[in-house]
């Protein structure tokens, strides 16, 4: 009787774990993927074609130059240098990438989110105020702020998809390393996405959503365009 029960339980468990009804998709690695009926169309799930493993070299898994800052993001006083699949091909499909960020004094990395990755930061130099927002499950219109003043050697994490920011509160440049558990974490800048979209979000929607008038909206569009 006990053997029959064991076999029955094993069969039921195997069914549920293998049933298509209980399957789930992998996290997407690109923002959109419009379906096409053309059988000759190329499909890139991770955005890259894999090299023949026999042709791979150590240089595919190597990057140099993280000891110097990267290119500045216009208007923000924030320079970034990325290490990702585009300059380290061996990272393809491994689900990781990272960035060196240099933030000038009193400047910010504005409110943004990474839709496909959790982000962990390490402070190398300077003093940074970092925080992220968690929606209040009891009230859709409110959120809770988790924030810390970070100094060299400190580590902080932004959970996947949550809005977050960095602010250099010190008087010298801050240097940080940002680690992502995705080879393509994506980034959505909240202010620019709303006020610099093309075509623009209709004024009535922005006005009602942010309690602004059309003059204020026009001024914000100029600042973020």
> Which segments are annotated as binding site for Mn(2+)?
112, 114, 119, 164
Closest by Cα among 126, 130, 129, 128 to 173: 126
Annotated binding site for oxalate: 114, 119
Interhelix angle 203-210/214-224, rounded to 10 degrees, is: 100
Annotated binding site: 112, 114, 119, 164
Q: Return the number of other C-beta atoms located less than 10 Å from residue 116's C-beta.
A: 20
Closest by Cα among 122, 141, 125 to 133: 141
* 151: enclosing H helix or E strand: none
Closest by Cα among 98, 163, 164 to 128: 164
Handedness of CA 99, 121, 160, 113 (dihedral sign): negative
- How far is Cα 195 from Cα 150, in angstroms, rounded to an integer? 30
């Amino acid at each position: 009787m006990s053997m029959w029960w064991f076999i029955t339980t094993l069969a039921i468990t195997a069914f549920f774990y293998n049933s298509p009804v209980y399957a789930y998709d992998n996290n997407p690695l690109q923002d959109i993927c419009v379906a096409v009926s053309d059988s000759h169309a190329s499909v890139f799930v991770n955005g890259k074609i894999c090299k023949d493993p026999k042709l791979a070299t150590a240089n595919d898994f190597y990057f140099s130059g993280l000891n110097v800052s990267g290119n500045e993001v216009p208007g923000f006083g924030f320079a970034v240098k990325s290490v990702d699949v585009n300059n380290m091909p061996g990272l393809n499909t491994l689900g990781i990438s990272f960035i060196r960020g240099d933030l000038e004094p009193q400047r910010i990395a504005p409110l943004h989110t990474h839709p496909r990755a959790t982000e962990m930061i390490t402070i190398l130099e300077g003093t940074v105020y970092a925080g992220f927002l968690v929606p209040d499950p009891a009230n859709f219109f409110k959120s809770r702020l988790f924030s810390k003043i970070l100094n060299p050697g400190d580590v902080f994490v932004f959970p996947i998809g949550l809005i977050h920011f960095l602010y250099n509160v010190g008087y010298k440049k801050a240097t940080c390393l940002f680690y992502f558990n995705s080879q393509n974490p994506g980034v959505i800048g909240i202010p620019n996405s709303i006020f610099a979209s093309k075509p623009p979000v209709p004024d009535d929607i922005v006005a009602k959503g942010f309690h602004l008038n059309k003059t204020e909206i026009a001024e914000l569009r100029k600042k973020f365009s």
